[in-house]
Amino acid sequence: MTLLFERNFVTELENRLTAEHPRIQVLVGPRQVGKTTGVRQLLSRSHLPHLYANADDLLSTDRTWLLEQWQRTLSLGSPALLVIDEIQKIPNWSETIKALWDKDGHNVRLVVLGSSSLQIQKGLTESLAGRFELTKIYHWTFSELKQAFDYNLDHYLVYGGYPGAVAYEDNFERWYAYLKESIVESVIGKDILLNNRVGNPALFRQAFEILCRYPAQEVSYTKLLGQLQEKGNTDLVKYYIELYAGAFLMYPLPKYSTRSHLTRSSSPKMLPACPALFSMHEGPNVLATPEVRGRVFELAVGAQLLQLPGELCYWRESSLEVDFVYRHRNQLYAIEVKSGRKKTSRGLDAFIKQFPAAAPIIITSENFSDFSDDPLVFLNKLKGS
């Protein structure tokens, strides 16, 4: 069953590529979540002649290598499909792609993949405006892992996110080593430090470990700065978080406010990208107390909400709090996460009183599976209840 499991983006990508005049298809997302596997599943049944090339396999790359892949694809016939993996490894890739596409794009169906959002987005906006469609691939959800590996909720809250690590879950130390060295360190070393200015790599790694210990918690930049072993400033912490968000490891949620200056100045609510990143640092017994389990469950809800189109925030006024505020198109949702730890609904009531158009939503351990199967359908179903 695992080998046959196919993520939803594969069919969507296939539909786009078989359209009459497809644009460049750009897939971005974390390492080891199935981007390449999904593309290979598509290639295995494609009727088009195709070429797959991975820039991550090369010691050095330049535009000449990219030009070579393009010409090899043209020689296959028209139209042919070209897939370039880890495209951000190629200097000035977007300018080269623009020139090739503008000349011969009608003969090539092009898919490019990358694991560094910041670098990919920069190339897209600078050179390829109007020529591409962007698809973001995220960590595996509870619904996907339940289908592929028969996960239950508690198992997901400890190990969820990376399907490649499933084989090592019966040995936590081995699981931890695989996650740390093969995934997290690859992201930090290859996708971040090689391509961005970071004055102190050891401090940068320490910052990530600290951030992972605050799942779904509001944390001030000053507090985070105080835990680092060397002096810095809040701008340094913000820069670190920006880099981790660009590599799909950590997301800072802003505070919801109709006044933008308050949103910008607020302390972020930190969301590691999946539960496994918290367990990696805290150990396998993360569900031992209701308080910590509640935080991890809230993280699981937030991590899936992040995968939706729209805007995700949190809300707080004094001691009143709403876990997540989600806006999609013209609809506002106030989402409270109930997991067994003691919480009141005063924050949700206060938010609805202040924003009466918002739909109150309560997500529990009992309805989380339905939410994970199709979050937008779930939210819209409860909106009118």
Q: Could you please report the per-residue DSSP string of 309-320?
A: SSEEEEEEETTE
Q: Please give the residue that has the higher pLDDT: either 345 or 294.
A: 294
Q: Which of 138, 243, 156, 171 is nearest to 200 (CA)?
A: 243
User: 8-136 adopts what CATH topology?
Assistant: Rossmann fold (3.40.50)
Between CA 80 and CA 373 the distance in angstroms is: 35
Residue 26 confidence (pLDDT) above 70: yes
The pLDDT value recorded for residue 157 is 97
**What predicted TM-score, i.e. pTM, was given to this entire model?**
0.91
Q: Does residue 7 have a pLDDT over 50?
A: yes
Name the percent of the chain lying above pLDDT 70: 93
Say whether pLDDT at 342 is over 90.
no
| pLDDT higher than 50, residue 2 | no
Helices (H), the chain: 8-17, 35-45, 63-74, 93-104, 117-127, 142-149, 153-159, 172-177, 185-186, 201-212, 221-227, 234-246, 260-265, 275-282, 290-305, 346-354, 368-373, 375-383
Only one residue has tokens 């009118």, namely: 384
Question: Per-residue pLDDT tens for 57-99?
Answer: 776 667 899 999 999 999 999 899 999 998 888 888 899 999 9
Longest distance between any two alpha carbons in the chain, whole Å: 66
Reported as a pLDDT band with limits 50, 70 and 90, residue 383 is confident
> Strands across the sheet with 80-85, in order?
50-54, 80-85, 108-114, 24-28, 132-136
Q: For the segment 172-187, what is each residue's pLDDT rounded down to a tens digit?
A: 999 999 999 999 998 9
Q: What is the mean pLDDT of residues 163-170?
A: 95
Question: Mean pLDDT score of the chain, rounded to an integer?
Answer: 90
- Confidence band of 262 (pLDDT split at 50, 70, 90): low
pLDDT value at residue 117:
67
pLDDT category of residue 1 using cuts at 50, 70 and 90: very low
Question: Where are the domains positioned within the chain?
Answer: 8-136, 142-383
pLDDT tens digit sequence for 98-151: 999 999 989 999 999 987 666 687 778 778 888 999 999 999 999 999 999 999
What are the tokens at 31?
């390492």
- What average pLDDT does this structure show over 359-375? 96
Percent of the chain with pLDDT over 90: 70
